Chains A and B, each alone.
Chain A
Amino acid sequence: MSLRAALSPLAGRTRGVRLGAWLLLGVVALAVLGPELSPHDYRDTNFDARLLPPGLAGGHLFGTDELGRDLFVRTLTGTRVTLLVALVASLVSLVIGVAWGSIAGYAGGRIDAFMMRAVDALYALPFIFLVILLMVAFERNFFLIFVAIGAINWLDMARIVRGQTLSLKQREFVLAAELLGVRPAAVLWRHVMPNLLGVVVVYLTLTIPQAILVESFLSFLGLGVQEPGTSLGALVNSGVAHMERAPWLLLVPSTLLALVLFCCHFLGDDLRDRLDPRRSGS
């Protein structure tokens, strides 16, 4: 799938799709640029301006938190972190999952059985629990978050990729390549991988929101990004603590998180529909 196809939702046919795409782009742009443009820094505490409600007066658009930090900047900074983690973790799980699944599927036989049995066993592990365990035991290492999320997501990807590889293996163009004497590694690289792209992209549209959720969840539990750094999940967490006196501390990051996830799902749906092989072959 070309870059043009990937960017096409911006000029999408449906008004809803266009809205979703531009909204997401807007959020990303805001997250990248916003904190730079604001006079406040996300770490600046101001004990005279604690728990200010949102409003134009006083220069704090979204209000301040319990330490007087500007919520607008903190929310956007948090969005940066959340998005970054989700993206990187998804890529990690993609690489591992595709490699694992395609090798298992193509090799077949005992290698396949072993590799997929491993996946089954890991799948049964309530990973989120083990992740929590890891994070508690090994200190709250930011790097570990990536590892943890990648470690959870690659299993699904591996399964899907393996399934797809198994069916691709029987396709006649793969058989034809084998008959021509092309080496297994070359068949895998030249014929199997490019035809996995469709299913991988489809799955990626599901794993990115999932990764966002996992990161937010971990941060919510206090295991993710550490102070003064923040992410949307951590902001929601602190928002819960103050939700009766200062509901905006909960509502602002929640809304942003929901918005990001909503756009991801929406666009993901559209992309999935368009890549569906049952439509005019793309």
Chain B
Amino acid sequence: MLRFILVRLASAVPTLLLVIAVAFLMVRAAPGGPFDAERVLPPETAANLAAAYHLDEPLPVQFARYLGGVLRGDLGPSYYYRDYEVQELIAAALPVTALLAGLAAAVALVVGLAAGACAALTANSGTDRLVTGLAMTGISVPVFVIAPLMVLAFAVHLGWFPASWTGGGRGERLVLPVIALALPHIAFLARLTRGSLLEVLSADFIRAARAQGLGTWRVLRVHALKPALLPVVSYLGPALASLLTGAVVVEAVFGIPGLGQLFVRSGLNRDYTLVLGIVIFYAALIIVLNLVVDLVYGWLDPRVRAR
């Protein structure tokens, strides 16, 4: 097991380096400098600014310098918010997004798995059809449609929850954004769980377990659970990535000052260091989360560990 972990960790490092390199190059390759949005500068000022931000050095040197900074946790100064370092801005915006995404993930897991299991266990009954139908609808309606519709229905017309972040109390204002973010994942997880559980339940070893006189609950809990969770765990990797994407929309619709918002604004402001910083942060996060997912998968399926 330990070797499994180490191997995975070892392969994550070069991936991360590659990611940083690609992102760095893309940002540098984008036309338009960070200062073009403002008034045209006299050449000496431009040259001084360039030197101050090390933009006049050859590319590999810039990259090495940047990489060194990343390793120290220094992501450079923001071009737009001149008084702040990139890592400070990220740290300020992170808690909100983390809370939002974390809660959404938890809700999606609990509700999605439960719904999927219910559907699988009552296969082809009315309950199953209802759950499947709702799930199908859930994945068909994009986040950016759900979020405004929810605001329209629950905030504007029914007035149950605040329409924006500044509206209500701490708990209240989280409800709509978390649900909006979680909904497509609840739907997907429900479908996935249903399919996976149905497949596991028709496996030979489940039949053998029943032949051993094990009751339904025991069969489900001990025998069916682990194998059925395998595809669900595989899905978690891409799911987390898309949660982060969805957060951008939800933050936009509800006016939440999180990382997604920061990113969009930094793009519009051509604040390249901030953009780069956020991209790298997200990439590192995804790599780490994928690693965790891999480990959980390995714990569930011992055959994978042998490889």
Task: List A residues at the B interface (Cβ < 8 Å).
Answer: 117-118, 120-122, 124-126, 128-130, 132-134, 136-138, 156, 209, 213, 216-217, 220-221, 233, 236-237, 239-240, 243-244, 247, 250-251, 254, 257-259, 261-262, 264-266
Assuming A124-B16, A217-B142, is B30 touching A138 (CB within 8 A)? Answer: yes
Q: Does B161 contact A (CB under 8 A)?
A: no
- Hey, which chain A residues are within 8 Å of B27, CB to CB? 133
Distance of A133 Cα from B265 Cα, bound (Å): 11
**Size of the chain B interface, CB-CB below 8 angstroms:** 47
- CB contacts (< 8 Å) of B167 on chain A: these are none
Is the CB of B244 closer than 8 A to any CB of chain A?
yes
A128 to B282, CA, bound (A): 11
Binding site for A on B (CB under 8 A): 11, 14-16, 18-19, 22-23, 26-27, 30-32, 136-137, 139-142, 144-145, 148-149, 151-152, 156, 238, 241, 244-245, 248-249, 252-253, 263-264, 267-268, 270, 275, 278-279, 282-283, 286-287, 290
Known contacts A134-B26, A257-B145; A220 and B15 CB within 8 A of each other: no
Closest Cβ of chain B to A78, distance in Å, is 13
The answer to whether A250 and B148 touch across the interface, beta carbons within 8 angstroms, is: yes
Interface CB pairs A-B, < 8 A, 22: A117-B15, A117-B18, A121-B19, A126-B241, A126-B245, A129-B282, A130-B26, A137-B31, A217-B144, A217-B245, A221-B264, A233-B144, A237-B144, A243-B151, A243-B152, A244-B152, A254-B141, A257-B142, A258-B140, A259-B140, A261-B139, A261-B140
B31 to chain A, nearest CB (A): 6
Residues of B within 8 A of A156 (CB): 238
Q: Would you call the interface of chain A mostly helix, strand, loop, or mixed? A: helix
Are the C-beta atoms of B19 and A243 separated by less than 8 Å? no
Chain B nearest CB: distance from A27 CB in Å?
Answer: 13
In the complex, the answer to whether B22 meets A243 with C-beta atoms within 8 Å is: no
Residues of B within 8 A of A217 (CB): 142, 144, 245, 249
Nearest residue (CB) in B for A118 is B18
Q: Choose one: B22, B278, B282; the contact of A122 (CB below 8 Å).
A: B22
For the complex formed, measure the closest distance between the CB of B26 and the CB atoms of chain A, giving whole angstroms: 6
The 9 closest A-B pairs by CB, nearest first: A137-B30, A261-B140, A121-B18, A262-B140, A126-B282, A240-B148, A254-B145, A136-B267, A258-B141
